[in-house]
């Protein structure tokens, strides 16, 4: 893997997060990373800060790299792919993080047989805690999937899913940080209501969510098991759980994921 060269087309928030994650993890030498964008000022800053090669010409990225990460908006991806199509060769693996764009649609604008892997990361990549789902296109093989996992694991955790489940991924982990932020805010508001100052309440709420997530992931605890560990008979927690159930909090969050997933499906058509 260390011999791979990685190129980014697009250096928006997610692209920048991935570049910083890769450089911080030392996956490859910085001289083997390049990026293109229309924002020359940003490119110059990234070159100065991270020591990677930069260009305003997407075709330069294809010349310098064999693994190409498409970190661009879905609305412009066809235009971008059509502009680089003649520079694509068999050495190239494309990893797309363009939300809602299927591997089939990507393949339509690239030469026949181009290897494509689609990825749905989330904004938590900015702090190295992304949840990313990966699905391969028809021409991609297991090694291509492993390449994508190797890169995305630098900024969080990855799972591999079938492509028809990517809308569900978008609704769950793609939109999920916004839903969790609502929970954190609600926890903090409850603390403020009971007398805590805002900064203290927010810190306690956010750390509680972080610690709970680590217990589920690192210890393999089922959420219900964790809930039962904290809920003593006739104690404070079970009374709080009762209030949550009366407020249909679980149903509300489920509905949010379902609604976001359905909207993702609509946007992908």
Q: What percent of the chain has pLDDT over 90?
A: 87
Residues 90 and 207 in one domain: no
Q: Among 144, 166, 188, where does a domain finish? A: 166
Residue 3 has pLDDT above 90, yes or no: no
Residue with tokens 């609509």: 266
Q: How far is CA 13 from each of CA 42, 65, 84, 180, 210, rounded to the nearest angstrom?
A: 11, 21, 22, 20, 22
Residues 160 and 184 in one domain: no
- Where residue 1 falls among pLDDT bands split at 50, 70, 90? low
For 127-167, write each residue's pLDDT tens digit: 889 999 999 999 999 999 999 999 999 999 999 999 999 99
Residues 142 and 184 in one domain: no
Residue 268 has pLDDT above 80, yes or no: no
Please answer whether residues 148 and 167 qualify as being in contact, where contact means their C-beta atoms are separated by less than 8 angstroms: no
Please answer whether residues 92 and 31 qualify as being in contact, where contact means their C-beta atoms are separated by less than 8 angstroms: no
Residues 124 and 228 in one domain: no
Residues 155 and 189 in one domain: no
> In CATH, what number is assigned to the domain containing residue 122?
3.40.50.720
Residues 33 and 159 in one domain: yes
Residues 143 and 219 in one domain: no
Across 224-242, b (16+ Cβ under 10 Å) vs e yields: eeeeeeeeeeeeeeeeeee
CB-based contacts of 41: which residues, under 8 Å, 6+ apart?
Answer: none
Provide the terminal-to-terminal Cα distance of the chain, rounded to the nearest Å. 35
Q: The pTM is what?
A: 0.89
According to the model, what pLDDT value does residue 240 have? 95
Q: Give dist(CA 114, CA 229) in Å, integer.
A: 50
Q: Among 140, 166, 192, where does a domain finish? A: 166
For 194-228, write each residue's pLDDT tens digit: 999 999 999 999 999 999 999 999 999 999 999 99
Residues 78 and 138 in one domain: yes
Residues 105 and 180 in one domain: no
Residues 249 and 228 in one domain: yes
Q: Among 166, 193, 227, where does a domain finish? A: 166
Does residue 128 fall inside a structural domain?
A: yes
Q: Give dist(CA 30, CA 41) in Å, integer.
A: 19
Residue 244 has pLDDT above 70, yes or no: yes
> How does the average pLDDT of the chain come out, rounded?
94
Across 140-166, b (16+ Cβ under 10 Å) vs e yields: beeebbebbbbbbebbbebeeeebeeb
Residues 187 and 213 in one domain: yes
Give the total number of structural domains in the chain. 2
Average pLDDT over residues 1-26: 89
Average pLDDT over residues 66-81: 94
The domain in which residue 62 lies consists of 6-166
According to DSSP, the β-strands at 6-9 and 33-36 are parallel
Residue 93 has pLDDT above 70, yes or no: yes
Does residue 212 fall inside a structural domain?
A: yes
Residue 49 has pLDDT above 70, yes or no: yes
Average pLDDT over residues 245-262: 95
- Where residue 100 falls among pLDDT bands split at 50, 70, 90? confident
Average pLDDT over residues 16-29: 90
């Amino acid at each position: 893997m260390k011999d791979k060269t990685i190129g980014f087309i697009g250096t928006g928030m997610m692209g920048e997060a991935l570049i910083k994650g890769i450089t911080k993890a030392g996956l490859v030498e910085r001289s083997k990373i390049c990026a293109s964008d229309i924002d020359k000022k940003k490119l110059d800053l990234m070159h100065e800060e991270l020591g990677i090669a930069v260009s305003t010409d997407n075709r330069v990225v294809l010349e310098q790299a064999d693994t190409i990460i498409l970190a661009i908006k879905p609305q412009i991806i066809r235009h971008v792919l059509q502009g680089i199509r003649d520079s694509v060769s068999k050495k190239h693996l494309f990893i797309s993080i363009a939300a809602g764009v299927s591997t089939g649609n990507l393949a339509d604008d690239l030469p026949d047989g181009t290897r494509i892997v689609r990825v749905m990361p989330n904004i938590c990549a900015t702090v190295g805690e992304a949840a990313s789902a990966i699905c391969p296109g028809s021409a991609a093989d297991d090694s291509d999937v492993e390449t994508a996992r190797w890169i995305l694991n630098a900024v969080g955790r990855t799972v591999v899913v079938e492509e028809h489940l990517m809308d569900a991924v978008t609704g769950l982990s793609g939109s999920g940080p916004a839903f969790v932020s609502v929970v954190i805010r609600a926890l903090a508001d409850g603390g403020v209501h009971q007398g805590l100052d805002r900064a203290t309440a927010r810190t306690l709420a956010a750390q509680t969510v972080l610690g709970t997530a680590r217990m589920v992931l690192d210890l393999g605890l089922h959420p219900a098991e964790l809930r039962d560990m904290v809920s003593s008979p006739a104690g404070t927690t079970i009374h709080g759980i009762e209030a949550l159930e009366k407020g249909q909090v679980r149903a509300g969050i489920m509905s949010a994921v379902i609604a976001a997933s359905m909207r993702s499906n609509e946007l992908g058509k």
